[in-house]
Structure 1
Amino acid sequence: MNFNVGLYFLAVAFSTAGMITSAKADDYSFTATNTTGSAITKVLVSENKKEWGYFDIGRGINPGKTANLEWDQSTNSESCTQWVKAAYADGSESEPAKFDFCEDGLEINF
């Protein structure tokens, strides 16, 4: 599978009762589904697309599987709007896409 050609993200977001400006671990989570043929080894996030942090996804997300990911307390001062991308077992990365992680029910398909 060619990961350099058009991997896309699809976000399905549901309305929220109130928008706030920082992502908090105890309040924010999302699901990540691997729709590719290669295991996801990292889910990376960035406010500026220059410095990347990552979620602890254990041994990874295998093809066809979904994981629930939660924000760490260290991100409490960060913006809800973040860039996200996946790194794969074959060494490739998806293109970054921007999401609002304060939205309830956020689902991202890689």
Structure 2
Amino acid sequence: MILKSVRMSVAAISFGVAGIGMMATAAQAEEFSFTATNTTKSNITEVFVSENKGEWGYFDIGSGIKPGATVNLVWDQSTNSEGCSQWVKAAYADGSESEPAKFDFCENGLEIEF
């Protein structure tokens, strides 16, 4: 899975990932996005997602997500045929990674904390 053309924008200061809705088919022309806030003291350098924890795609988060910052990440349309259940993890500037956690991105109001 390769995630391209991911846009990001700064939002409020709370950690959460809110699922807006993942399309099951290309016929549903709804955009899927979520917000992510860094609650750690280390810059988040990458956000990874995977359906199977074997192959990881990533969101382009530019120079990273600073501690306390919140961004909006948008899924690329090329992922529209993928399932709602995805594993998510973050990589940090200090070299550590969060534990992968599985979420249903079709669930409205989904919130994730790294």
TM-score by length of 1: 0.75
User: Does the residue aligned with 2:65 lie in a helix, a strand or coil?
Assistant: coil
Counterpart AA for 2:70: T
Distance 1:42 1:19 in 2: 21
1:39-84: per-residue Cα shift (whole Å, max 9, x none)? 0000000000010000111111000111101101111111111000
Distance 1:42 1:36 in 2: 14
The gaps in structure 2 that reach 5 residues or longer are 1-14
More displaced 10-residue stretch of structure 1: 98-107 or 37-46: 98-107
Counterpart AA for 2:104: D
Distance 1:25 1:41 in 2: 30
Distance 1:97 1:25 in 2: 27
TM-score by length of 2: 0.73
Cα 1:46–1:12 shift into 2, 3 Å: closer
- Between the two structures, name the one with larger relative contact order (CA 8 Å, sep ≥ 6): 1
Aligned pairs for 1:22-101 (under 5 A) are 26-101=30-105
Percent identity of paired positions between Structure 1 and Structure 2: 75
Counterpart AA for 1:40: I
Cα 1:50–1:99 shift into 2, 3 Å: same
